[in-house]
Amino acid sequence: MSFCFLFPGQGAQYPGMGRDFYDHSTTVQELFQQASDAAGRDLSRLVFDGTAEELKQTDNTQIAITVTSLAAAIVMREHGLSPAACAGFSLGEYAALVESGVLALEDVFPVVLARGQIMEEVSRELDTATGSAGMTAVMGLSFEKVSEVLSMAPAEDVYPGIWNSPVQTVISGTADALTAAEDALKKAGAKRCIRLKVSGPFHSPLMSKAATRFADVLADTTFHDPTLPVYSNVTGDTITTGAEARNYCVKQLISTVQWVPEQRAVVRDGFHRVAEVGPGTVLSGLWKNYTKTEHETELPCRAAGTVEDIKTLAAE
């Protein structure tokens, strides 16, 4: 049975995620050992026993979510559930690149580890006495309206970061810029503005220094052409070559994540069986909002974040 695998990004993490995968599969245990060797520390301790605050730090979050998502993919395949296509939300794109044959498993952990460290360091340079740079989810306004309000906002250093759903956009900025933008967006009709559990203003021009440093990291990494359809956050459409994938990995740091166009492309290409492979249910909620708005019938996104979730899918 085949699904389009959707892999979650930062914000999906929680203490203890993936422990049941580890207990269930020796292949997952080997995966965690490989990731631990790349990170130079015990990732099973971080993922299973780390605090929410530890897991929130970008240099911890990114490798923790990646290893947990890839563990979920292993257990999916062990239960006869294979990917027909892959897409990843922000950080989740790296698990998607592995599953689609673009990145080798031995390469993804050093890459993700470096990405997290670089993004954390650059983000901390943007902190001020009034708070940390970060991201805010804006509910109840279209992406176009949010972009319009930000273009007229009095504060600089705030940008559309992620086009989450037809009625939700995440903005990225410095602490003061986010506060000013939140006020402006509420006056424009936003129902709620929620600061996210991330530690930087990702997917915005504020990460330009990180993109430059990350490009150097990727220069020596091999990117293969995909062996099955995989979608890009930068364009919202399929990646056709390894060279494209490398370029988009750098651009993703400074570009708005085109998640709504990406979901449209998945449906356009006929992938109607979709599973959220990894921790949390964020992507399932976004998929529900998207299909409810743009399709006559809701297309479900199935949870695949625990062994029990996967057993349920395999039994259908």
CB 144 within 8 A of CB 98: no
Mean pLDDT of 207-224: 97
In a domain, 200, yes or no: no
Strands (E), 125-238: 134-139, 158-165, 168-173, 192-195
The verdict on 157 and 249 lying in the same domain is no
In a domain, 9, yes or no: yes
SS3 239: coil
In terms of average pLDDT, the best of 3-12, 54-63, 248-257 is 248-257
Domain of 94, CATH number, reads: 3.40.366.10
Q: What are the catalytic residues? A: 90, 203
The residue with greater pLDDT, 294 or 123, is 123
Q: Which of 59-63, 159-163, 173-177, 258-262 has the least mean pLDDT?
A: 59-63
Distance CA 129, CA 148 (A): 29
CB 279 within 8 A of CB 68: yes
Share of the chain above pLDDT 70, in %: 99
Confidence grade of residue 82 (pLDDT, cut at 50, 70, 90): very high
CB 97 within 8 A of CB 88: yes
Report the predicted TM-score, pTM, of the whole model to 2 decimal places: 0.94
Distance CA 230, CA 79 (A): 22
pLDDT in tens, 133-164: 999 999 999 999 999 999 987 678 999 999 99
Nearest to 50 by CA among 61, 34, 40: 61
In a domain, 65, yes or no: yes
Give the domain range for residue 311: 2-125+205-315
- In order, the DSSP letters of 186-197 are HHTT-SEEEE-S
The verdict on 76 and 213 lying in the same domain is yes
The verdict on 36 and 179 lying in the same domain is no
User: Structural domain tally of the chain?
Assistant: 2
**Which domain-ending residue is among 173, 195, 217?**
195
The verdict on 210 and 255 lying in the same domain is yes
In a domain, 23, yes or no: yes
